[in-house]
Amino acid sequence: MKIDILTIFPEMFEGFLTTSIIKRAIQNNLVDIQIHDIRNYSKDPHKKVDDYGFGGGRGMVLMPQPIFDAVDDLKQTNTKVILMTPQGKTYKQKLAYDLSKEKHLILICGHYEGFDERIRTLADLELSIGDYVLTGGELASMVITDSVVRLIDGVIEKESHLNDSFNNNLLDYPVYTKPVDFRGMKVPDVLLSGHHANIKKYREEEAYKKTKERRPDLLEGENNG
């Protein structure tokens, strides 16, 4: 998979690309992630990429020309262009799985007061990571990239993400490690039994119980589906 991210703050991605699972996925040639400074596509002599919005109002608005030219330069026949915006579709785990099957993603990070409305015509998909507003789309694009890359074959063990929260509309079951008894809080006996069928049943029951207590809306979504 190839992921191109368009941003006016490329330096924000330095730690993200050189740490942990993302770093190993890049080193193992499982994903190619490139960060592109939108300013490099500006035709303005001062590399300006934003201006005041027509009609007044506070804040600066990203201009269409640099972003259109960047997408024109990077887009291929199998590309999905994603615009990061609070107005977009709320991101879910199922969509992460769908995106992990794509060959090429372009993520456009908005910033300042927003972006020229015509930029929306470039997008195959508009995404939001939640009902709140960030100073820009950079953090959101990292969230999307991280959640997608870990699902690519070979990045992590498949069993690890099959048991993730939100698979099958359930939160993940509780997990424990050493010591068996910590400050009077003990690991459930069934996990120490070595009886795989009982352990599986316990985990399924606990996942359902946790979901019902903390996110009953997930179960309602399953029932309505």
Q: Which residue among the candidates 164, 172, 174, 203 is catalytic per the annotation?
A: 164
Residues contacting residue 118 through CB under 8 Å, at least 6 positions apart: 64
Residues 70/38, Cβ–Cβ less than 8 Å: yes
Contacts of residue 63, defined as CB under 8 A and 6 or more positions apart, other chains included, come to: 48, 49, 50, 51, 116
| Residue among 74, 144, 138 nearest 112 (CA) | 138
For residue 120, report the phi and psi dihedrals to the nearest 5 degrees.
Answer: -60, -30
The dihedrals phi and psi of 125, each to the nearest 5 degrees, come to -155, 135
The CA radius of gyration of the chain, in Å to the nearest whole number, is 22
Question: Catalytic pick from 4, 10, 66, 86?
Answer: 86
Q: Is 86 a catalytic residue?
A: yes
3-state class (DSSP) for residue 127: strand
DSSP for 129-194, written as a single string? SSSS--SBSHHHHHHHHHHHHTTSBTTB-HHHHHTSTTGGG-PPPP---S-SEETTEE--HHHHS-
Q: How far apart are CA 67 and CA 109, in angstroms?
A: 10
For the question of residue 150 being annotated catalytic, the response is: yes
Task: Pick the catalytic residue from 113, 116, 146, 172.
Answer: 113
Distance CA 104, CA 53 (A): 32
**Which sequence positions are flagged as catalytic?**
86, 113, 150, 164
